[in-house]
Structure 1
Amino acid sequence: MNTIKSSGVDCFEDINHLSQCLGEKINRAEGFCSTHVNPSYGEGLITATKLSKEISVYIFDFVLKQDLEWHFKKAPLRSIDFIFCLEGSAYHKFNAYSYEQINFRQNFIVSRNKKSSSTIKFGAHTPIKMTLISYKPDFNKIGSKDDFGLRKLAFRILSDTYLKEEDYRYSGRICFRTSNFVSEVLKYSFDSSSEILFKEAAIINTLASQIDRHDKGVTGKYKDAPIRQFEIDQILATVNFISNNLSENLSVARLQKISGLSPDKLQKGFKYLFNKSVNVYVTEKRLDKAAQLIYETDFNVSELVYSVGFSSRSYFSKIFKRYFGVLPSQCVTNPQLINKAIAS
């Protein structure tokens, strides 16, 4: 395992520490710097950007051959770190406590005081695309005459909300809106004025989206659910996958791997959200899709069976009849029967 220690005060200094451990030479320009991962340690790119004196952005786009622990030592400034894994996952801990996983597309926020150390761990052989937006306010300026403008107002409120004397960690829900903004952060370069401005806008949007999801998530409608909020979003993401891939293998074992949840969590989530088991949910979605195809296409029964992921024509006909009250062969001949069956 590789270990790096840095202050977390200056992002360029942090990139220098990362470069000394696993990188190559540092490429530096006004406002940003980067280093490629040395092939002996993995492959990819690490970038740091200074949006202002108080806001720094780290972008990790790499695969490592060994685990990496990045320790932020005790620093003279309190800070809030907004972390988002667009791909892969990482881990976080305060001081000597155990790690908590930063899941794929999960809204993860860490606020640490001046006496705390904070560690982020990246696992080996895990493709990572992650942003870390670090906010370190200058308390001497907050509320001063020089402290004006919409962004300053927003961060003054942000400081009051997140910067507490004690450590704070928020493991929130999966957020697809945030993932779109993070994709934009990774997409744009520093090659032109327009690219730089688009990148800055994407960073601010990422930050705003993570704050918004935190504020809504604290009092969310799923707070009494038998599983955690981010697990509910993993199930909703799995539901989206099911809808878009009905012709594929959608066994519980495969959906478990796709969702990252245990079979028990997966079944509990479907029962809570839909009052159905996973298999019943998948079967009904396939039957609904078959009914749609009957009405919108000229498919025969065999083509329907293939298109919605069934392997047996006789089994398909049997459960279709049980679900709609009419045989699929009858509906193929007279599609209006589907409308009557649904209406009844």
Structure 2
Amino acid sequence: MLYINFEHPFDQLRKLALSLNADFKEFQDSAILTLNNDLGKGHVTTYNVLEGLNVRIYDITFNEEFKLTKMEQDPSIIYFLYCIKGHFFHKFENQEDYTKIYPRQNVIYSSAPKSPNIVTFPANVHLRLSAIFVKSVTKPSNSKRRTILESALDDITSFIQKDNPFSYYGEISPVTSKYAKILIDNNRTDAVGKLLVEGAVINTLASQVEHHDAAKEEAQIGFPLTNSEILKISEVAEYIAENIDQSLNIDHLSKTFGLSPKKLQAGFRHLFGESLGNFITHLRLEKGKELLQHTDLNISEVCYKIGFSSRSYFSKTFSERFGLLPSKFKNSLSSDDLVYELTYKSTMSDGIQLSDIEDIIEEAEPRNQEHNITGCLVCQNNNFFQLLEGPKSNVLYIYEKIKKDPRHYDLEILTRKINSNRFFPQWSMALLSEKDELKDTFKDRAVDLNLDTESILQGDNLHISSTVFWRRVLNMIKASKA
């Protein structure tokens, strides 16, 4: 168990990094812990947003259970926690049992001098968590954001006693997730990133306070489901998503989770704004659309994968939701006006020589031309980055071939999407900078790019970084040919 009693959030994160043997980088208003060893993989980032307001973002998976005890020197600090993926456990030191914190659950707690917080992160659970720390500030307000923050906290701080720990384990709050996701997905450390964090923190905080107040009002009018039943509804939704190809009906779910059909319907209308049956249908349709976009499965195979027993009913409901029959939607993806894009990163195998990279390029150029594939390959240190674009079936075919190539491993797809045009009219190779070690070998065949790909090399939110990265690659290639 790790004990933390440093007051400054950056010092807390530094101690956590030392405990985990993780990398730690500190900037003016942020600090980043990067973990990539036997203990786990991911990032923990702390932002100093305003005086008295900090946020810690967890996007991490621990390979072993990890316990953290936090003793606050200042009991006026209040925590607003919101988890969009995974779960963890919390208790005060003087409590015997832990409370499980679920995805999308609104959680607010404080601490007292003699009652430190104990948090347990379970093993092998991908945690994506926003933790906002608010400290009472006595200085007068000088900004609009500060005024908004103080107004939002009035109701919370009015009933929190500094000498006793306070905890509020609220209901599931899906609305807050759109703000928390902005926080967790953000990986920029420049001025734009800082403004993005400030706005998202204020919105997340306001949403959690608003949901807290609304929950109190609902309790007063007698909402038909208890808090534990609402949490169970979230578990039902997760179960449906994981078993979408199975026969799912309300009687089966009622028996499995111990909730009456009436409770199930009320819970889904409360959390998702629709009946249980509509939720299952819409989830299946969204999964079906994804399979049509990113696989070569035919319509019947897609029906089987998502639990539709009738192809005609699937076609009817798909058309009602998306405005196209699934067959027409699938055909539209092969249109000459649309381009399928797939980007990935991988690690070079041990012993790879420059001659091996030359061979990869020699093999790729004619193969890509034959299949109408364009894109770009970038090599940096021991990493490959590649964008493939062209007809969807051809791109998927080429990628399957690439996956089996023994000259690299640990492939990770960064983006899969449909574009209206190609980024690269011809297949290219690019070097990242004038200092690239491959420059001399490929000086007549590659474009020099002064790009910093650190944001792509690190972090689980790679789809965001890769979009920015490839657009910069495209712009630099165009500039070099102008």
Identify whether the pair has TM-score above 0.5, normalized to the shorter chain.
Answer: yes
Query: In the TM superposition, what is the alpha-carbon distance from 1:203 to its structure 2 partner?
Result: 1.2
1:54 alignment partner in structure 2: 52
CA contact (8 A) 2:49 2:197 kept: no
Distance 1:282 1:51 in 2: 43
Query: In the TM superposition, what is the alpha-carbon distance from 1:199 to its structure 2 partner?
Result: 1.9
Query: In the TM superposition, what is the alpha-carbon distance from 1:115 to its structure 2 partner?
Result: 3.0
Distance 1:274 1:201 in 2: 30
1:299 alignment partner in structure 2: none
Name the SS for the 1:212 alignment partner: helix
Query: 2:158 matched to 1:161?
Result: yes
Distance 1:81 1:284 in 2: 33
Taking structure 2 as the reference length, the TM-score comes to: 0.51
Task: Provide Cα deviations, 1:220-273, integer angstroms capped at 9, x if missing partner.
Answer: 16964564236436637957997x9998424369986xx9x9620365622656
User: Which range moved further: 215-224 or 88-97?
Assistant: 215-224
Residue 191 of structure 2 is aligned with which of 190, 193, 200?
A: 193
Taking structure 1 as the reference length, the TM-score comes to: 0.69
Distance 1:7 1:184 in 2: 29
1:215 alignment partner in structure 2: 213
- Identity within the alignment, %: 22
Query: In the TM superposition, what is the alpha-carbon distance from 1:77 to its structure 2 partner?
Result: 3.2
1:67 alignment partner in structure 2: 65
Name the SS for the 2:233 alignment partner: helix
Distance 2:251 2:31 in 1: 41
1:118 alignment partner in structure 2: 117
1:329 alignment partner in structure 2: none
Query: In the TM superposition, what is the alpha-carbon distance from 1:196 to its structure 2 partner?
Result: 1.9
**How many positions carry a matched residue from both structures?**
282
Name the SS for the 2:59 alignment partner: strand
Query: 2:245 matched to 1:251?
Result: no
User: Which range moved further: 180-189 or 56-65?
Assistant: 180-189
Residue 263 of structure 1 is aligned with which of 237, 244, 257?
A: 257
CA contact (8 A) 1:5 1:17 kept: no
- Gapped regions of structure 1 (runs ≥ 5): 290-302, 317-344
Letter in 2 for 1:118: N
CA contact (8 A) 2:225 2:267 kept: no
Distance 1:284 1:157 in 2: 37
Distance 1:222 1:157 in 2: 20
* Closer/same/farther in 2, CA of residues 235 and 157 from structure 1, 3 Å limit: same
Distance 2:201 2:252 in 1: 32
Name the SS for the 2:218 alignment partner: coil
Distance 1:284 1:14 in 2: 42
* Closer/same/farther in 2, CA of residues 281 and 102 from structure 1, 3 Å limit: closer
Letter in 1 for 2:85: E
Query: In the TM superposition, what is the alpha-carbon distance from 1:38 to its structure 2 partner?
Result: 3.7
* Closer/same/farther in 2, CA of residues 66 and 309 from structure 1, 3 Å limit: closer
2:295 alignment partner in structure 1: none
* Closer/same/farther in 2, CA of residues 220 and 188 from structure 1, 3 Å limit: same
Residue 201 of structure 2 is aligned with which of 196, 200, 203?
A: 203
Query: In the TM superposition, what is the alpha-carbon distance from 1:157 to its structure 2 partner?
Result: 1.7
Alignment of 1:230-241 (within 5 A): 231-232=229-230, 235=233
Distance 1:190 1:135 in 2: 22
* Closer/same/farther in 2, CA of residues 14 and 264 from structure 1, 3 Å limit: same
Distance 2:6 2:232 in 1: 31
Letter in 1 for 2:62: L
Distance 1:215 1:110 in 2: 15
Task: Provide Cα deviations, 1:75-116, integer angstroms capped at 9, x if missing partner.
Answer: 233221001111000111011311101101100111223332
- Gapped regions of structure 2 (runs ≥ 5): 270-274, 285-299, 314-482
1:99 alignment partner in structure 2: 98
The root-mean-square deviation of aligned C-alpha atoms, in Å, is 4.0
Name the SS for the 1:137 alignment partner: coil
Distance 1:227 1:31 in 2: 43
Alignment of 1:164-179 (within 5 A): 164-165=161-162, 166-179=164-177
* Closer/same/farther in 2, CA of residues 52 and 235 from structure 1, 3 Å limit: same
CA contact (8 A) 2:152 2:205 kept: no
Letter in 2 for 1:103: Y
Alignment of 1:254-293 (within 5 A): 263-265=257-259, 267=261, 269-270=263-264, 282=277
Query: In the TM superposition, what is the alpha-carbon distance from 1:12 to its structure 2 partner?
Result: 0.5
Query: In the TM superposition, what is the alpha-carbon distance from 1:10 to its structure 2 partner?
Result: 1.4
Query: 2:8 matched to 1:13?
Result: no
* Closer/same/farther in 2, CA of residues 74 and 194 from structure 1, 3 Å limit: closer
Query: 2:121 matched to 1:127?
Result: no
Letter in 2 for 1:106: Q
Distance 2:263 2:78 in 1: 31
Name the SS for the 2:202 alignment partner: helix
RCO greater where, 1 or 2, for CA within 8 Å and sep 6 or more? 1
Task: Provide Cα deviations, 1:115-165, integer angstroms capped at 9, x if missing partner.
Answer: 321111100001100011011213xx2xx6x34555244266256335324
Name the SS for the 2:54 alignment partner: strand
Name the SS for the 1:20 alignment partner: helix
Query: In the TM superposition, what is the alpha-carbon distance from 1:8 to its structure 2 partner?
Result: 6.0
Distance 1:255 1:61 in 2: 34
CA contact (8 A) 2:7 2:72 kept: no
CA contact (8 A) 1:23 1:38 kept: no
Query: In the TM superposition, what is the alpha-carbon distance from 1:192 to its structure 2 partner?
Result: 3.1
* Closer/same/farther in 2, CA of residues 85 and 230 from structure 1, 3 Å limit: farther
